[in-house]
Amino acid sequence: MTERTLSGTGVTPRAGVGTAVWYRPEAGLELPEPPAEGLDAAAERERFETARGEAREELERERDLTADRVGDEEAAVFDAHVQFLNDPQIESGVEEAVDDGLTAEHAVQRAFAGPIEQFEGMEGRMAERADDLRDVRDRLLRVLTGGERVNLAELPAGTVVLAERLTPSDTAQLDPERIAGFATVTGGRTSHAAIFARALALPAVVGVGDDLDSIEEGAAVVIDGDAGEVVVDPSDERREAAAADDAVEVRPNPVTTADGTTVEVAANVGRPAELGPAADRGADGIGLFRTEFLFLDRDAPPSEEEQYEAYAEALSTFPDGRVVVRTLDVGGDKPVPYLDLPESENPFLSERGIRRSLGPDAALFETQLRALLRAAGSEGGDGLAVMLPLVATIEEVEEAREVLESVAADLDEEGATYARPEFGVMIETPAATFMAPELASRVDFLSVGTNDLAQYVMAADRGDERVADLHDPLHPPVLRAIARTVEAADGEECWVGMCGEMAGDPDLTELLVGLGLDELSMSAVTVPDVKANVETTDREAAEALAARALAAGTKREVDQLLTDTA
């Protein structure tokens, strides 16, 4: 048969080939006809409450499983789903529908219809929020009807999943060892399905449109997440290329720009299971080792020894590279039950990160520093670096340094083997960018966390889809904050890195090199692409591009500039 190609939005720089299997979850949801009369409204409301409780328990279990397989940040979407379950608008909508004579099933369907339609009429990430509502609605309907859920984890090896859309619950089930890739009719690069695909390193193309429906069950399909193509009945050459995943060559060694400037390309890691894949993808080291996994989903904090072993494992995986460990960053969207974190109207502007480490979590901070200093003094530990999250003042840095020195003195008195690691801070707040010169003179490195920096510079909660368009690091104020940080380190013995999602976008590599960043850290799946782009970047041309971007007054101008130079 003749090869044909459908186009969509590629979300991972990987390709896979397999057999098409259509996923149609709605086929198993058959709602019973409501009785003509005699409906017990109180009983229907009780059925809804029971179903809501079961759905909440399911979500909590799936959140834990997703945190283990994908990561804590990605798993947070299930917390939002719990909020939808408790949404007063949804609850009142169900009650009104029941009072109008509908069963709990039909009431749920009607209550969700309006909000879903409202989100679908919006643009960008707001439109993708409709999928979250569908996920919660279908979960409730399945519980109410006793319907069975299709287990995507049990699909045959070599399956290419095709669907109208994939919800977070669907995507979290996909096993990269069995699934060759997936494609959807709807969706965009910022959808949860796309985010999960990148975290799982799954070949994926979203937003293909209705043409995807023309692919028959059992057809041979190539998913090219780099080119954004779905190839039906591919040629032998196309199959071989996809099977070998030859789109990007893994570069195990450090890379330089075309004119010889070294740029470190590292990986962000959220748990030990991600260390091996990061090394396999050619990461030079770990630019962000999130330590929250040690503290979450347990009844008591980890011991010093448990932490020491985790840091030692990371160092042994990258014996010739740098491992940047971020100290505990809780608060905000990362609750820890045994810490009894106080509720806040805006947790992102409250106690989190270094503020807790120097306050109510001081004992945990000291234990963590003990483990880190011991790891730095172990064999191969000279690559360890310690990074403080959410720094806003010079006082925080100086106080943290004093704690580190106090811990070192205690270890010295005990006769323990230890060493002082590199010491740096994350640049996530506008305050830190304004104080960057003073910070650069006091630390060994600065690392720009673009996710939070964009949130705070643009005053746009990154979890609020209503302001999602503002949460983009290409807005001129965010670019200028990054440039200010890099300039502050000029002339100091202080390197500057970036560990936000921006660093892992291959389309932005030239811009980031031009801004003068020494290190880029990202999800491991994009390391090969970024390394390849570093090697083809001419620094002089990159600096000219960065200068034009910094002179732009609007994000539209920046976008156009990047499009023109692509």
pLDDT at site 533: 95
pLDDT at site 232: 95
Catalytic residue flag (residue 499):
yes
pLDDT at site 332: 54
| Banded model confidence at residue 387, pLDDT cuts 50, 70, 90 | very high
Q: Residue 100 pLDDT more than 80? A: yes
Please pick, among 81, 192, 471, 475, the residue that the annotation labels catalytic. 192
Catalytic residue flag (residue 192):
yes
| Banded model confidence at residue 363, pLDDT cuts 50, 70, 90 | very high
Q: Residue 479 pLDDT more than 80? A: yes
pLDDT at site 170: 84
How confident is the model over 187-246, as pLDDT tens digits?
877 677 888 888 778 899 998 999 999 999 999 999 998 889 999 999 988 888 887 764
Show Cβ contacts of residue 306 under 8 Å, excluding neighbours closer than 6 positions: 294
Average pLDDT (113-121) is 82
Q: Are the beta carbons of 427 and 448 closer than 8 angstroms?
A: yes
Average pLDDT (553-565) is 92
Q: What predicted TM-score, i.e. pTM, was given to this entire model?
A: 0.73
| Banded model confidence at residue 360, pLDDT cuts 50, 70, 90 | very high
Q: Which CATH number is 30-145's, of 3.40.50.620, 1.10.3720.10, 3.40.50.970, 1.10.274.10? A: 1.10.274.10
How confident is the model over 49-59, as pLDDT tens digits?
999 999 988 88
Q: How long is the chain?
A: 566
- Backbone φ and ψ for 244, nearest 5 degrees, come out as -85, -10
In this structure, the dihedral spanned by the alpha carbons of residues 84, 85, 86 and 92, taken in order and rounded to 10 degrees, is 100
Q: Taking the domains of the chain in order of start, what are their residue ranges?
A: 4-24+150-244, 30-145, 255-540
How confident is the model over 83-92, as pLDDT tens digits?
888 888 888 9
Comparing CA positions, the residue from 487, 10, 439, 79 lying closest to residue 228 is 10
| Banded model confidence at residue 464, pLDDT cuts 50, 70, 90 | low
Instruction: Kindly tell me the number of DSSP H helices and DSSP E strands found in the chain.
Output: 22, 17
Taking the domain 255-540, which CATH number applies?
3.20.20.60
On average, the pLDDT of the chain sits at 88
How confident is the model over 442-455, as pLDDT tens digits?
999 999 999 899 98
Please pick, among 81, 475, 494, 499, the residue that the annotation labels catalytic. 499
Q: Residue 462 pLDDT more than 60? A: yes
Bridge-based pairing of strands 4-7 and 229-232 is antiparallel
Q: Please state which CATH class domain 4-24+150-244 belongs to.
A: alpha beta
